[in-house]
């Protein structure tokens, strides 16, 4: 069957204004503890995105200091993932590499994906790199390796990475240049902090770079406490010394601690109060260039009581409020300078890199910046005096320049939102599926979404989308009720029945698939004839097709039909299979109290509850699902059914049997919309925020259901021709899909199995251990994969 030229297969974004449902945002390169510049960027990012994304969105921070970070109250729905140096630089990259190599091998990828940090990463929609500086010459091989390995796992897992505002380059070192050329072009976006970093990026010919201000500019200003200095009547000069700058000054023979100590003494003599704060604080037990605590202690030993010292490990906003109380602030830490600017506090800046000067130049205050070689007590004292004398002019300059800088920083948040809004499901259709999709969806205008509920219902066999959609339509009045199938236990026996759900709660009571055949269509038609619609209906493809045919000649029936939702169907199974298996499992009529065909993620398990309260679980793939896949008690009509996707429905649903989806913590379903009513219903569901939805290429549905689709199409042709050899009478499939040799071989195995389970061998076959059936099952499935 060939595709018509006008076939329309359209993947579309769900909602143009933003993501559909909660998202999981991965963040690396920053922590809440220690370097408060890093913490300021992290907190600003989470606060800004939390106000823009779905309230249930999760921010997953891959922290180098998980113990310290977990004790800090973080904004939003923040999760701390333990990623200390051994994890970040060795274990996580190795696990991601193994996952990448094994992802297409059945079950093999589950091993690496069980590793906690990788499991957390695989659920992320995006990774945001908050490194303050990366791929810069002269920082040593370990740092360069860290820059590469920080983002490598996300790249291996197909997760988009955005480098948020940071300094990059220069790239004069051959090794650094090589690493940058290999990694940076693979970033979704790189935000360079300042013109010099942008020039470095341009030297590599990168097309994914733009300039943006530091994210810390997005934190609140802290000005609510800014009048404290005026109330007290004495100028308060704050100082944030830097261990990094102290080491750089030592290399050029400048006594940085001595200059700061002398400045404190000079200011005290002039009647100023002085407050020294550890802006990057890892406490007394750790020596690091990111720890200013030891340097502050050394200064305290020198100046004694001439200055106050703030050595507590305070969060960024608390530090910003303290800085806002100062009359002038001497900033050696970059983000302490940003806090001074944002709070309207005149700043004197001691710098060790171009980033300080670039920011101060944007507010016209570059004359208050001192490079390492020019730092001395006299120069610092002169600049502090000038800042005190011209405080009004300095604040006016800041008020003019800061809004533009904040807008620049804000552009990064807009980019993250745009990437998330346009994001498709992270799984690709193979070339075979892409080639086949036009013929599968011939003449249809289809849209595909992959998703699940944000909080999956306990009994949902898959992602919970069907239940969520029906519940949504009832709650909005789009339908009066939903007609569903329900499985319950009555007198120790399973009762399969058609029920009318009039509330969302009743819909969720019916959640969970029923894998046994019963006259659900007859029950649905009875509801339509006797009730007042519109009724949404959950049907199998053959039932939807029959209903459409019946409604075509009965206008009164047609008017009562609301949304028709189909469940992708491998085949229907007679209920005798479940009855026999329950008896074999010791859950006969005298003991059975409750039963669900399938629960849990991926293939899941059958859940059995006995009269004595005992809960029994049987792995679906080794129990009911195994025999169903061996076509035990397969309904005869299914052997020649060619409609797998339910093309008579408004929207149909099925499992996302995709290698990339196997290792996600949630089980995703695919929703295929085939009518305007179906598309509108899915778009409305996406806007609620109660579900997670991604647009996807419809070819992905073909990829996910390739074997089942072939079983229905080419397999039906083969079985219809071979059925007489097995004593079966099936209608011939004329003008259908051409079957190949492997289809005929698979048909022989299917028909032989159907006959065997109808024969005296049935009891023996049902009692055989699961592993004895697997070679036959794998051979049959393998033939459909050729």
Confidence grade of residue 49 (pLDDT, cut at 50, 70, 90): very high
pLDDT in tens, 547-591: 999 888 787 888 999 999 999 998 999 999 999 999 999 998 889
- Whole-number Å distance between alpha carbons of 369 and 348: 6
Higher-pLDDT residue of 151, 70 = 151
**pLDDT digit string (tens) for 588-645?**
888 999 999 888 766 788 999 999 999 999 999 999 999 999 999 999 999 999 999 9
Residue 771's CB is within 10 A of a number of other CB atoms, namely 9
Say how many C-beta atoms besides its own lie within 10 A of residue 165's C-beta.
Answer: 26
Among residues 383, 399, 304, the alpha carbon closest in space to that of 347 is found at 383
Mention every residue, 6+ apart, whose C-beta is less than 8 A from residue 362.
401, 404, 405
Handedness of CA 628, 631, 635, 638 (dihedral sign): positive
For residue range 395-450, what is the model confidence (pLDDT) as tens digits? 999 999 999 999 999 999 999 999 998 888 888 888 999 999 999 998 899 999 99
Contact criterion met (CB below 8 Å) for 188 and 161: yes
pLDDT number for residue 9: 45
Question: Where do the structural domains in the chain lie, given as residue ranges?
Answer: 24-218, 236-403, 573-633, 713-785
Q: pLDDT (tens digit, 9 = 90+) per residue, 367-402? A: 999 999 999 999 999 999 999 999 999 999 999 999
Q: Are 692 and 667 in contact (CB under 8 A)?
A: no
Instruction: Please say whether the beta carbons of 218 and 410 come within 8 A.
Output: yes
Average pLDDT over residues 206-228: 82
Report, in angstroms and rounded to the nearest whole number, the Rg of the chain calculated over CA atoms.
Answer: 33
Q: Which two tokens stand for residue 148?
A: 């590469």
Are 565 and 462 a contacting pair, CB within 8 Å? no
Rounded Cα gap, residues 626 and 239, in angstroms: 71
Torsion of CA 239, 240, 245, 250, to 10 degrees: 50
Sort strands 369-370 and 347-350 into parallel, antiparallel or unpaired. parallel
State the average pLDDT for the chain. Answer: 90
What is the distance between the alpha carbons of residues 581 and 578, in angstroms, rounded to a whole number? 5
Q: 24-218 and 236-403 share one CATH topology?
A: yes
The dotted CATH code for 24-218 is: 3.40.50.11930
Q: For residue 532, count CB atoms less than 10 angstroms from its CB and return exposed for 0-12, middle for 13-18, buried for 19 or more.
A: exposed
Is residue 672 classed as helix, strand or coil in its secondary structure?
strand
- CA 478 to the chain's CA centroid: 30
DSSP β-ladder status, 592-599 and 605-610: antiparallel
Rounded Cα–Cα distance for residues 72 and 53 (Å): 23
Contact 621, 642 (CB under 8 A): no
Name the CATH superfamily housing domain 236-403: Glycogen Phosphorylase B; (3.40.50.2000)
Stretch 350-357: mean pLDDT, rounded? Answer: 88
Peptide bond before 196: cis, by omega within 30 degrees of 0? Answer: no
Report the distance separating Cα 624 and Cα 578, nearest Å: 7
**Cα separation of 607 and 594, whole Å?**
8
Mean pLDDT of 768-782: 95
Provide mean pLDDT across the span 59-65: 95
pLDDT tens by residue, 715-742: 999 999 999 999 999 998 876 789 999 9
Tokens standing for residue 466: 């069907």
């Amino acid at each position: 069957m060939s595709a018509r030229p006008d076939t329309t297969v359209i993947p579309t974004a769900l909602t143009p204004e933003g993501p559909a449902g909660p998202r999981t945002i991965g963040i690396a390169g920053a922590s809440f503890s220690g370097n408060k510049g890093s913490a300021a960027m992290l907190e600003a990012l989470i606060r800004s995105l939390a106000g823009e994304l779905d309230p249930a969105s999760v921010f997953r921070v891959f922290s180098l200091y998980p113990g310290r970070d977990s004790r800090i109250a973080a904004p939003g729905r923040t999760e701390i993932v333990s990623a200390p140096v051994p994890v970040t630089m060795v274990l996580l990259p190795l696990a991601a590499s193994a996952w990448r190599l094994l992802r297409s091998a059945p079950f093999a990828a589950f091993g690496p994906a069980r590793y906690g940090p990788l499991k957390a990463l695989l659920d992320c929609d995006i990774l945001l790199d908050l490194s303050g500086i990366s791929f810069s010459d002269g920082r040593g091989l370990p740092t360069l390796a860290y820059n590469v390995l920080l983002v490598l796992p996300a790249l291996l897992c197909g997760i988009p990475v955005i480098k948020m505002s940071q300094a990059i380059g220069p790239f004069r070192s051959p090794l650094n240049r090589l690493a940058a050329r290999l990694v940076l072009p693979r970033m979704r976006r790189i935000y360079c902090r300042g013109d010099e970093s942008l020039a470095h990026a341009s030297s590599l010919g990168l097309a994914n770079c733009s300039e943006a201000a530091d994210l810390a500019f997005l934190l609140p200003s802290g000005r609510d406490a800014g009048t404290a200095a005026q109330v007290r009547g004495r100028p308060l000069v704050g100082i944030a010394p830097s261990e990094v700058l102290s080491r750089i000054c030592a290399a050029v023979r400048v006594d940085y601690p001595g200059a700061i100590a002398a400045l404190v003494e000079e200011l005290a003599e002039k009647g100023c109060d002085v407050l020294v704060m550890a802006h990057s604080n890892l406490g007394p037990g750790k020596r690091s260039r990111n720890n200013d605590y030891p340097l502050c202690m050394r200064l305290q030993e020198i100046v004694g009581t001439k200055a106050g010292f703030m050595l507590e490990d305070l969060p960024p906003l608390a530090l910003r409020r303290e800085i806002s109380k100062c009359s002038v602030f001497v900033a050696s830490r970059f983000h302490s300078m940003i806090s001074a600017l944002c709070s309207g506090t005149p700043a004197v800046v001691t710098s060790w890199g171009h980033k300080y000067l670039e920011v101060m130049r944007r507010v016209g205050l570059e004359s208050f910046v001192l490079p390492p070689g020019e730092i001395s007590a006299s120069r610092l004292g002169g600049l502090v005096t000038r800042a005190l004398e011209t405080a009004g002019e300095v604040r006016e300059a800041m008020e003019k320049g800061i809004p533009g800088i904040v807008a620049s920083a804000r552009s990064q948040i807009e980019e993250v939102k745009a990437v998330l809004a346009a994001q498709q499901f992270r799984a690709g259709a193979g070339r075979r599926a892409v080639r086949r999709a036009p013929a599968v969806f011939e003449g249809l205008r289809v849209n595909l979404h992959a998703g699940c509920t944000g909080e999956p219902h306990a009994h949902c066999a898959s992602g919970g989308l069907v239940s969520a959609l029906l519940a949504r339509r009832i709650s909005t009045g789009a339908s009066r009720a939903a007609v569903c199938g329900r499985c319950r236990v009555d007198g120790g026996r399973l009762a399969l029945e058609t029920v009318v759900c009039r509330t969302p709660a009743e819909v969720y009571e019916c959640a969970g698939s029923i894998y046994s055949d019963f006259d659900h269509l007859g029950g649905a038609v009875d509801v339509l004839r006797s009730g007042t619609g519109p009724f949404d209906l959950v049907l199998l493809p053959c039932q939807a097709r029959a209903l459409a045919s019946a409604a075509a000649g009965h206008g009164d029936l047609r008017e009562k039909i609301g949304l028709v939702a189909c469940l992708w169907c491998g085949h229907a199974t007679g209920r005798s299979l479940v009855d026999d298996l329950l008896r074999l499992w010791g859950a006969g009529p005298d003991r059975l109290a409750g039963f669900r065909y399938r629960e849990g993620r991926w293939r899941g398990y059958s859940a059995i509850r006995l009269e004595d309260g005992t809960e029994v679980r049987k792995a679906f793939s080794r129990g009911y699902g195994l025999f169903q896949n061996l076509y035990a008690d397969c309904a005869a009509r299914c052997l020649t059914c060619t409609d797998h996707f339910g093309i008579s429905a408004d929207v149909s649903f099925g499992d996302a049997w995709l290698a990339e989806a196997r290792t996600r913590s949630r089980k995703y379903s695919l929703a295929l919309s085939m009518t305007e009513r179906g598309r509108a219903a899915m778009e409305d569901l996406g806007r609620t925020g109660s579900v997670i939805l991604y647009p996807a290429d419809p070819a992905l549905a073909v990829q996910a259901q390739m074997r089942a689709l072939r079983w229905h199409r080419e397999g039906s042709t083969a079985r219809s021709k071979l059925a007489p050899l097995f004593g079966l009478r099936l209608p011939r499939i004329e003008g259908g899909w051409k079957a190949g040799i492997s289809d005929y071989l698979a048909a022989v195995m299917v028909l032989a199995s159907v006959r065997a389970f109808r024969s005296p061998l049935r009891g023996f076959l049902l009692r055989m251990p699961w592993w004895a059936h697997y070679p036959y099952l794998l051979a049959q499935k393998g033939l459909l994969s050729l």
